[in-house]
Amino acid sequence: MLRNDRVKRVLGLVRVSTKKQDVAMQESVLAEICEEHVLLIENGDILRLHGVSGTATLTNTQMLELIEAMKRPEIEGLAVYSLDRILRPGKDFGLMQILDLFKSTLKPIFSLTDGLVDLSTDEGMDTAQMAAAAAGCEWRRIRRRTTRGRLRHLKAGGLDHGTPPYGYRYERDRNAFAILEEQACWVRRMFEWRRAGAGPYEIARRLNEAGVKSQRAGKVNLRTGEINDGRWGRNSVTQTLANPTYKGEHHRCGFVITGKAVPAIVSAELWDEVQVIAHEDRRIGRPTRNFLLTKLIRCARCKHRANCHSQGRGRFCYRCANRTTKPPIRRLCPASQVGARELENAVWSDVWGHLTNPKRLLESARALVASQAEPGDERTKLERKLRELTTRKTRVGDRYEMGELGPAEYRGKITELEAKIREIEQALRGLRAVITLPGEAQVESILAEFIDAPEPTGTDVRRGVLDRIRDFSVIYDDRTREYEISGAIPVPEAASGRLKCTSGVNANSTSTATIPFKVKGRLAA
């Protein structure tokens, strides 16, 4: 075999499944690869991924981190023990997406088991695909073996995992939970506080003020890279109070484990009493008011949704809802509030003016179509979401085959995922379509029900009109007191089949069955 004696600087990948596996062994394998292929791996060129189990795959963040490191100009390839370490389909990427990513780097992969693999050649692509197929088979075998072992433990009345809830520790020799008193004392206080009338938010505030850290303190979010600060939130408190493990009943995969394996932290009577209180709170709730722009308005500064708040004496305002999710609550956006009645009247006036004036609506639609740019970013987001949903659908099927899901739950999840997939596919088709607008006479017939009707006055009736407009949204900028309304008037099927091309638009283009519009306005100072 011909060899090029020029030393190439490459990136090394160490992917270790458990704490028992030796990282030094993985690094010694990289040394063997370097010796065989005349490579050099400097100290800062080893990418270490710890805690990646046999059934886990590279996350979106890890995959992109690996690709970005390979694209560095001084790096001439990747050294890895086996291709299945990197080519196993993941949560965010399918096989072909992974191969395309590595191919885009224009750099080879050096493997101890598979040799030199150059994805720019047909031979290298075939080798990678065969290695990925073998990795997928191995992943499914591990999943089935793990599932069978878990079910065997559960049927015998034991635990199938070693991750205990807050307030417990796992004892491997007994395969049981043991009470961790330094945390269990706070669990008891949480139940006592809830029985005394404190809500989840108030309980979270008390825990944070006392410096009590949650179970996720110090853990790293693999997507964002942020380290969890351990502060309690309303949801974490609610989930803790609803966990039956604390009364000595551990629910897992349809089985209930009791006895010495799961000691109780609170009495069954106290746990049941707290569940009654939580149920009553959900049933009674808080009286709600209807506002015209609820869930339709966003802040121009941070694009976060704005909510309606009371100012007292019957006055209300919209204010950006971008704030911390855990107590103590503080606002993260400096946007000021705006009077609800003032903004709602201005927005409704513009919307109703378009619904009752075909010429004005058509002019707005033509201006919007003329100003639209190529939707490249939007297409990329939709395609990424479509890949994620397709992967989730495949995993739901795998879980059903391994007995983790029952038939009813499987059908429900598959139906939900297929509906989302169809919705995204339709949106992608919409991006590819060329917009065809109807003539003024056709728009007048489409808007006839609004033109001939009196203007609605009640909030509920007006909201019903807004809900009929597709993708309706309002963006408000508190700095200039300007607002932007966007949406699309749906075209009935009978009318969409008769759409005629207007001047300047291709007569052979595809109809969108909507009339898009965008309106800008400003509130009085």
177-230 pLDDT, tens digit per residue, is 999 999 999 999 999 999 998 889 899 999 999 999 998 888 766 555 577 888
Pick 174 or 136 by higher pLDDT. Answer: 174
Q: How far apart are CA 204 and CA 372, in angstroms?
A: 47
**Confidence at residue 92, expressed as pLDDT on a 0 to 100 scale:** 56
pLDDT at 20 over 60: no
Length of the chain: 525
CA dihedral 314, 318, 323, 327 (to 10 degrees): 10
Average pLDDT on 114-139 reads 82
Average pLDDT on 232-252 reads 91
Pick 155 or 458 by higher pLDDT. Answer: 458
The strand pairing partners of 483, in sequence order, are 476, 521
- Which residue, 448, 447, 490, is CA-closest to 471? 490
Pick 126 or 63 by higher pLDDT. Answer: 126
**Confidence at residue 319, expressed as pLDDT on a 0 to 100 scale:** 93
pLDDT band with cut points at 50, 70 and 90 for residue 503: very low
pLDDT at 438 over 60: yes
Average pLDDT on 317-342 reads 88
Q: Which CATH class is domain 8-143?
A: alpha beta
pLDDT at 62 over 80: no
**Confidence at residue 282, expressed as pLDDT on a 0 to 100 scale:** 66
Q: What is the pLDDT of residues 138-155, one digit of tens each?
A: 777 877 887 788 778 777
Pick 385 or 223 by higher pLDDT. Answer: 385
Average pLDDT on 496-518 reads 51
Average pLDDT on 437-453 reads 86
Which of 49-63, 102-116, 232-246, 402-416 is modeled with the greatest confidence?
232-246
**String of b and e for 12-40 (b: at least 16 CB within 10 Å)?**
bbbbbeeeeeeeeebeebbeebbeebebe
Q: How far apart are CA 472 and CA 470, in angstroms?
A: 5
**Confidence at residue 365, expressed as pLDDT on a 0 to 100 scale:** 87
pLDDT band with cut points at 50, 70 and 90 for residue 60: low
Pick 432 or 385 by higher pLDDT. Answer: 385
**Confidence at residue 315, expressed as pLDDT on a 0 to 100 scale:** 87
Pick 50 or 136 by higher pLDDT. Answer: 136
Helix and strand totals (H; E) in the chain? 17, 18
pLDDT band with cut points at 50, 70 and 90 for residue 50: low
**Confidence at residue 506, expressed as pLDDT on a 0 to 100 scale:** 36
Helix/strand/coil for 110: strand
Cα 47 → chain centroid = 26
Pick 400 or 276 by higher pLDDT. Answer: 276
Average pLDDT on 16-39 reads 73
Q: What is the pLDDT of residues 285-300, one digit of tens each?
A: 454 567 899 889 999 9
**Confidence at residue 247, expressed as pLDDT on a 0 to 100 scale:** 94
Q: What is the pLDDT of residues 473-501, one digit of tens each?
A: 999 999 999 999 999 998 876 554 444 43
Structural domain boundaries of the chain?
A: 8-143, 168-284, 345-372+435-522
- Among 154-158, 251-255, 292-296, 515-519, the least confident range: 154-158
Pairing, β 46-49 against β 470-477? unpaired
**String of b and e for 244-275 (b: at least 16 CB within 10 Å)?**
bbbbbbbeeeebebeeebbebbbeeebbeebe
Pairing, β 514-522 against β 46-49? unpaired
Question: To the nearest whole number, what is the mean pLDDT of the chain?
Answer: 81
Superfamily name and number for 168-284: Putative Large Serine Recombinase; Chain B, Domain 2 (3.90.1750.20)
pLDDT band with cut points at 50, 70 and 90 for residue 390: confident
**Confidence at residue 17, expressed as pLDDT on a 0 to 100 scale:** 54
pLDDT at 241 over 60: yes
Q: What is the pLDDT of residues 129-138, one digit of tens each?
A: 888 778 778 7
Burial of 112 (0-12, 13-18, 19+ CB in 10 A): middle
